[in-house]
Amino acid sequence: MDGVVQLADRISPTRQAGAGTTRAGEQARAQRFAVSIPLRYRERSQQEWSEGYTENISSSGVLFRGTKETAPRTPIEMSLRLQVNHEGVAEVICQGTLVRVSPGDGAEAQPAMAATITHYRFVRL
C-alpha cells in the first residue's frame, strides 16, 4: 500500500503545474512547519480580506492568527505570500475550511484559527 502511495505522490506533484489538491491520505503524512508567513484570509462568500500570519502550516492545514475571528466550519480562502528569494514573490491561494477558533489571550491579542487546506495554487506576482 505504501508503495502505491509513494508512486502516486511521486507522479502527482510533477504532474501539477503550480496547483494541487490535498488528498485525504496526505493529511496524515504532511510535514508541519512552525514558520510565520504573512497571510490574508476571507470567507469564500466575502470580498474583504483580513490579515494574519501563520503559526504553523503543512500542505493540508494551517494554524494562524488573524484580525477577524471567523466561525468554525466556514469555507475560507487564504492567500500566503512567499517573499523569500531573488526569483520573485509568489502568492499561494488556498481553499479550505475553518475547523477551530480560539480567542486571543493576554500574550497574543489575535484569535487563533485552524483551517484545512483542500486546494491550492501558486500565483507569481
Footprint of another protein on this chain (CB under 8 A)? Answer: 9-10, 12-14, 16-18, 20, 22, 26, 29-31, 33-38, 40, 48-51, 53, 57-59, 65, 67, 82-92, 104, 107-110, 117, 120, 122-125
What backbone torsions phi and psi does residue 25 show, to the nearest 5 degrees? -65, -30
Taking the least distance from each CB to another protein, the nearer of 40 and 70 is: 40
Q: How far is the CB of 57 from another protein (least distance, A)?
A: 6
Q: Cβ-count burial of 61 within 10 angstroms (0-12 exposed, 13-18 middle, 19+ buried)?
A: buried
Taking the least distance from each CB to another protein, the nearer of 45 and 87 is: 87
Rounded to whole angstroms, how far apart are CA atoms 122 and 83? 13
Q: How far is the CB of 105 from another protein (least distance, A)?
A: 11
Q: How far is the CB of 32 from another protein (least distance, A)?
A: 9
Rounded to whole angstroms, how far apart are CA atoms 104 and 111? 4
Q: How far is the CB of 107 from another protein (least distance, A)?
A: 7
Cβ distance 115 to 64 under 8 Å? yes
